[in-house]
Amino acid sequence: MRDLAKQSVNTLEAARQLRLALNELERNPSAYRNSEAAALYVRAALGSLTSQAVQQSARGKQSPIVPPIKQSELDTLILNPLPFDTSAAERFDPVQLALDLIRLVNGSGGIVEQTYLYLDEPSAADWLSVCSTESFTESYRKTRPVGAVAAEVAQLVGELPLDINALGPGDGKSEVALIGQLRDLLPVSEMRLHLLDISHSLLVAACNLAVRTFQDRHINVLALCGDFHKLHLYEPLLAGANAHTRRRLYTLLGYTLSNLDNELGFFDSLAACTAPGDLCLVDLQTAVASPDQPDEIKAKDSLFNTAPPRAYADWLTGPIRRYGGDVLEVTLEQELCTECSVPGSYEINLIAHVELVTGQRKGFVVGRFKRHDPTRLAEALRARGWSVESVRLYGEPTGKGAALMLLRRAPA
Ligand SMILES: C[S@@+](CC[C@H](N)C(=O)[O-])C[C@H]1O[C@@H](n2cnc3c(N)ncnc32)[C@H](O)[C@@H]1O
């Protein structure tokens, strides 16, 4: 346990150093106009701390399961878990992610994959502001049929102890609401909650909320700072040796699925980590019209009818404004794309048009918002080995079309 605490402190210290470095870059942007200089500064700030933490992690000593966390211990129990048996290229490397982002926004344009929208603390703070906007809470969270889906999950889980693997929990409110229902239906003593988020700050927020909410019920909580595109790296999240002795419920809530570049690929990777019978709960936003009716989509989809609210615009453009050199102005525009891999779906991309002080212009896709036809998505997922247990439509009072979909890994 002492070893574990020591490794965690090193990882935490590395995260603190990164935070300080990024703060410094923000405070003094003119000194780091050149992206290479900025990158070097972040690297130097992290120095040996990161490699020390990674080397210790790579020795693979820590126990995957952590006992219930006391409030005062939270900071030291956020783990950046060890990649085991993996090549260096596969490792989760938050510093490299930060450097890639800086390089990207200083390049000639491109796609900011959604992972990069949560990396630094200002991004996490902006995301928390989005979560607290009325439209987000009222239309997305309050109307989600969590009680009904929890009852269904409890029935499918039966007698097996449950691991809830929350992928990208953000502020944790969606996931905690779900577990609040589940804990009245299933024995909690053997329930484990694994939180996996790319953002250290959001992970702390979610972990704090979970511990505060469930402190009287002894749910084991493990917080992992990592990348859900590399799920196979995180042993506690894999069926592995527990394939037949525990059931796993993976959650991807908050419409994260709608933001992914390749949602079918995500389910393929997830399938490789699960055992038959494991469950996955996702929410999604529904299509207002068929992709072959672009005019109808533009007329009916609320993302086209109104400019993105201020909180969204700040969040989406934040990385460009903070790390892009010589940025004069950033404006957002919606673009419809109807050539998507899931039949019946379309996506609305938010393009950031960037004007530099030199007059140069460039563009980045900073937001990807997919809309699915739940029936067609279910067909695509069935063909990939997922059985669709239920689809619950919701969000009607405010006109938002959303669906909560419960999937089960089919026998091979
Ligand atoms: C749209 S938010 C959803 C948050 C929350 N589940 C909710 O219901 O509001 C996406 C979350 O996924 C996390 N995330 C994004 N990309 C990730 C990645 N590649 N690996 C792990 N977490 C990621 C973000 O930090 C954020 O917490």
Q: For residue range 66-104, list pLDDT tens digits in order.
A: 333 344 334 334 555 544 455 545 667 889 999 999 999
Cα 217–chain centre separation: 26
Instruction: Delimit the domains of the chain by residue range.
Output: 2-112, 135-286+372-409, 294-370
For the segment 141-158, what is each residue's pLDDT rounded down to a tens digit? 778 999 999 999 999 999
172 lines ligand 1 (CB under 6 A): no
CB of 183 within 8 A of CB of 162? no
* Cα 361 to middle of ligand 1, angstroms: 30
What ligand 1 atom has the least distance to the C-alpha of 115? 16
Question: Given ligand 1 and candidates 96, 112, 118, which is best to mutate, with the most ligand atoms within 8 Å of its CB?
Answer: 118
* CB 81 less than 6 A from any atom of ligand 1: no
Listed residue (102, 85, 83) closest to 39, CA to CA:
102
The tens digit of pLDDT for each residue in 170-213 reads 999 999 999 999 999 998 788 999 999 999 999 999 999 999 99
Asked whether 406 and 153 are in contact (CB, 8 A), the reply is yes
Angle at 42 between CA 39 and CA 45, to 5 degrees: 145
Assess whether the C-beta atom of 229 lies below 6 angstroms from ligand 1: yes
CB of 118 closer than 6 angstroms to any ligand 1 atom: yes
C-beta neighbour count of 148 within 10 angstroms: 15
* Ligand 1 mean position, distance from CA 256 (Å): 6
> Which atom of ligand 1 approaches the CA of 254 most closely?
8
Residue 20: predicted pLDDT? 53
Can you tell me the mean pLDDT for 257-284?
97
CATH code that applies to domain 135-286+372-409: 3.40.50.150
Q: How far is the CA of 197 from the centre of ligand 1 (A)?
A: 6
Q: Which of 111, 89, 87, 91 is nearest to 101 (CA)?
A: 111
Q: How confident is the model at residue 344 (pLDDT cuts 50, 70, 90)?
A: very high
Question: Rounded distance, CA 47 to CA 41, Å?
Answer: 10
**Dihedral angle sign, alpha carbons of residues 138, 141, 142, 144:** positive
pLDDT value for 112: 98
191 near 164, Cβ under 8 Å?
A: yes
- For ligand 1, what atom is nearest to the CA of residue 283? 8
How far apart CA 105 and CA 95 sit, in angstroms, is: 16
386 CA from centroid of ligand 1 (Å): 22
Residue 152 neighbours by CB under 8 Å, 6+ apart: 389, 390, 406
Ligand 1 atom 6, closest CA: 169
**Does residue 197's CB lie within 6 angstroms of at least one atom of ligand 1?**
yes
Question: What's the CA gap between 240 and 123, in Å, rounded?
Answer: 34
Is residue 375 scored above 60 in pLDDT? yes
